[in-house]
Structure 1
Amino acid sequence: MHHTRRDFLEGILASLALGVAAPASAAGSAPLSFLVIGDWGDAGSRETASDVATAMGKIGEKHAVSFVVSTGDNFYERGVSSVTDPLWQKAFEDIYTAPALQVPWYVVLGNHDYSGNTDAQLAYTRKNKRWTMPARYYKISKALPGSAADFFFLDTQHLKRDDWFGRLFSEKPDEQLTWLEAELAASTARWKIVVGHHPVFSGGEHGDNDEMIRKLKPLLDRYGVAMYLCGHDHDLEALQSEMVAYFVSGSGSRTRPMRWHEKSLFASPGPGFLLVELKAKDGTASFFDDKAALLYSRDLGI
């Protein structure tokens, strides 16, 4: 049967009169959307960082992102010295100015951050409403239509111990792993997402990390983690191992050559970031470059 525009409008008015919402844009049907960026804090690569930030603003607005995940190395070369360090302005406040990026930033520490005052990055949480790092490792929960997502943010500098610098800052790695296992075991969320700085698997310069494979991967597999988000290698990668999706988003301001990994689904040495959109039972993960062009997208299902 053919319907005219008048028929359509009358139908909407009739629905409203009966207190029935029109189905086209049902309230609460939007996915939980967020951006993931890493290794972005190079004030010396300001042009690249600004281009990526501009692209993030465009994609963030289009997809109504709720927050941003930072996978570490927030400030080069040696972190920040205090909450008043000029790098806060140069590398963060003056770069990520798009309206869509004025949302919470959930942050983890990277190895370069540990060359500075890491306590200052925790303290900045109390100074800036966007910056959110309440502890060196922590959990947040997000509701989405008909489901929920639990995010577990790690301090992987305390887990990675394959070099002298890692060993120096790994006083109590088992304490963090004990916390993570207990939280994963207790979580009833449909989506479990773990965030750290160092990759478990990577085709980038640093490659696979044996300590992370030995200590972290079994927990991801055992407790049904959907994805692990990280940076450290300055590239964009999607990999798959067992049932866990691994995403490297580490080219927010610096890039490096990389190679194809045996677990790779996608790899790019260019600048960019990741967009994740989650629904109750499925979702998507999409990489974009510094011009907001789509590079790769994959379905997520659990």
Structure 2
Amino acid sequence: MSLKRRQFLFLSSLGTLGTGVLGWTLTRQNNQVANIADSTVIAATPPQNELLLRFASVADTGTGAKGQYAVAEAMNFYHQRNPYDLVVLAGDNIYNDGEIEKIGAVFERPYANLLSQDVKFHACLGNHDIRTENGNPQIKYPGFNMQGRYYTFRRDAVQFFALDTNRNADWKNQVIWLEQELSRSDAPWKVVFGHDPFYSSGHYGVSQSLIKRFVPLFKKYNVQLYINGHDHHYERTSAIEGTTYLTTGSGAGVRPTGRSKWTEYSAERLAFAAYDVYPDRIEVNTMGTDKKIFDKGVIKFKSV
């Protein structure tokens, strides 16, 4: 092969190589630009593993007896490892008749460790609570953080709605109030709590009256979770028309329970539940007095 021919091939290969390098450089730069654009979009949306809020729930607590203290000790144990600063207290806060003079024995002493660390309890009224002055002393008690017989408050991405489910409740105005509050809420997560169960496999069973009053609103406004007590057991349902129903009424004592077609987990155990709220899910962890998690569940976020 002549020198000129070899020179031509060599220069041609350099040209091809240069084109390849240039193409690779431009592609890399374009990818970097695309990645920067993508990362900007991702940064605008909270990462799906970002913890937004952690809270706990317990109910039927107000005995001041051994069972309540055992659950409170488990709540302290969990708090030391997984800090939370909010507890939903779903009624029957003072046995047997809602006497506010018992508040030290049935609330302030059992939960002294949590209260000293600025954990806030938000309560609603149970059937035992209204036996003294229709529960008004409890509504006024600062430690229960109640704003009325039914009320709402927001924490981060979660809006909570407390109901009065007692037989003498102001049903007409309460239903109107709830729809108004749900309709104006822009919180991604909506959690309702009250004392009485809608769906239960325990002593009180299913409440058709509560289902008729509230389930259409829960469905319409995408309420993802309802928390209650009254039945003294633990039970977590599968999603029923988009809402998970969770009974945590074993905060001081237990009664027998069973299972229903919608039951994900039920247990006759002293317990409380903890909730880790993320952008796309709520993780439920339920702990017994042996300080071990015995139920884990996930409530998936579902937009309207």
TM-score by structure 2 length? 0.79
Q: In structure 2, what is the Cα distance between the partners aligned to 1:179 and 1:227?
A: 18
Q: Does 1:121 align with 2:138?
A: yes
SS at match of 2:141: helix
Q: In structure 2, what is the Cα distance between the partners aligned to 1:260 and 1:282?
A: 25
Which is richer in helix?
2
Q: In structure 2, what is the Cα distance between the partners aligned to 1:252 and 1:237?
A: 13
Aligned length: 251
Q: In structure 2, what is the Cα distance between the partners aligned to 1:217 and 1:242?
A: 8
Q: CA deviation at 1:97?
A: 2.0
Partner deviation per Cα, 1:191-240 (whole Å, 9 max, x = no partner): 01101100000001000011011111111111100100000000000012
- Structure 1 ranges of 4+ moved more than 4 A: none
Specify which of 219, 231, 234 is matched with residue 233 of structure 1: 231
SS at match of 1:246: strand
Q: Does 1:186 align with 2:202?
A: no
SS at match of 2:252: coil
Specify which of 71, 82, 99 is matched with residue 52 of structure 1: 71
Contact 1:39 1:74 in 2 (8 A): yes
Give 5+ residue unaligned stretches, structure 2.
Answer: 1-46
Q: In structure 2, what is the Cα distance between the partners aligned to 1:200 and 1:110?
A: 14
Superposed counterparts of 1:153-164, under 5 Å: 153-157=162-166
Q: In structure 2, what is the Cα distance between the partners aligned to 1:205 and 1:99?
A: 31
| Residue equivalent to 2:253 | 254
> Given residue 180 of structure 1, which amino acid in structure 2 is its aligned partner?
L
Give 5+ residue unaligned stretches, structure 1.
Answer: 1-25, 158-165
Specify which of 121, 124, 143 is matched with residue 105 of structure 1: 121
SS at match of 1:224: coil
| Residue equivalent to 2:172 | 174
| Residue equivalent to 1:11 | none
| Residue equivalent to 2:8 | none
Q: Does 1:31 align with 2:52?
A: yes
Q: In structure 2, what is the Cα distance between the partners aligned to 1:152 and 1:114?
A: 19
Q: CA deviation at 1:94?
A: 1.2
> Given residue 279 of structure 1, which amino acid in structure 2 is its aligned partner?
Y
SS at match of 1:292: coil
Contact 2:85 2:118 in 1 (8 A): no
What is the percentage of aligned positions where both structures have the same residue? 29
> Given residue 137 of structure 2, which amino acid in structure 1 is its aligned partner?
A
Contact 1:32 1:66 in 2 (8 A): no
Superposed counterparts of 1:148-297, under 5 Å: 148-157=157-166, 166=167, 169-170=168-169, 172-240=170-238, 241-297=240-296
Q: In structure 1, what is the Cα distance between the partners aligned to 2:94 and 2:261?
A: 31
Q: CA deviation at 1:29?
A: 4.4
Contact 1:238 1:265 in 2 (8 A): yes
Contact 1:233 1:248 in 2 (8 A): yes
Contact 2:50 2:279 in 1 (8 A): no
Contact 2:158 2:191 in 1 (8 A): yes
